[in-house]
Amino acid sequence: MLELTMASVSGAEEGATAGMLMADAPSEPGAVLRVGRDRSVCRLATPDDWLFVSRVHLEFLCGPEGTWQVSWLRGSQPDPSSEVRLVVGQYAQTIAYGGTVPLPRGGSGEIVVQDRTGPRSVNVGFYHEG
């Protein structure tokens, strides 16, 4: 099982968890959870006017061994207007535009989508049951 929680944070609400959304999916091969502005395909949707987030920005996919990975999908722009980081405890890793990283099995952490033009971010917490 992969559990996600998402909070959209702007500069004035630093640390606030108002409007937190949650989603989960079983750790079965092919299971998918998406995060972005397009509510028709994303289980966790950000505000429509947050253009630093693509229509489908992040995709969590379960592989054949029941392990999860997260991909930052390429959008319509050649250069993204956000940065994406994976944070697990004291460890932080930048995810490349169009890149994919595995999530730690039996672990938890956060994916942070940071607006490059202002103090806004989308914080997606995850818990991957081992």
Tell me: the pLDDT tens digits for 88-110? 999 999 999 999 999 988 889 99
Tell me: the pLDDT tens digits for 6-16? 998 887 655 55
What pLDDT shows up at residue 125?
A: 96
What pLDDT shows up at residue 17?
A: 47
- Domain span at residue 12 reads 1-126
Q: What confidence category does residue 54 fall into, taking pLDDT thresholds of 50, 70 and 90?
A: very high
Mean pLDDT value of segment 39-59: 95
Mean pLDDT value of segment 114-128: 93
Query: Is the pTM value of this prediction over 0.75?
Result: yes
Q: How many domains is the chain built from?
A: 1
Mean pLDDT value of segment 26-39: 96
Work out the percent of the chain whose per-residue pLDDT is above 70: 93
What pLDDT shows up at residue 13?
A: 55
**Residue 56 main-chain phi, psi, to 5 deg:** -130, 105
Mean pLDDT value of segment 72-96: 93
Which domain CATH number covers 20?
A: 2.60.200.20
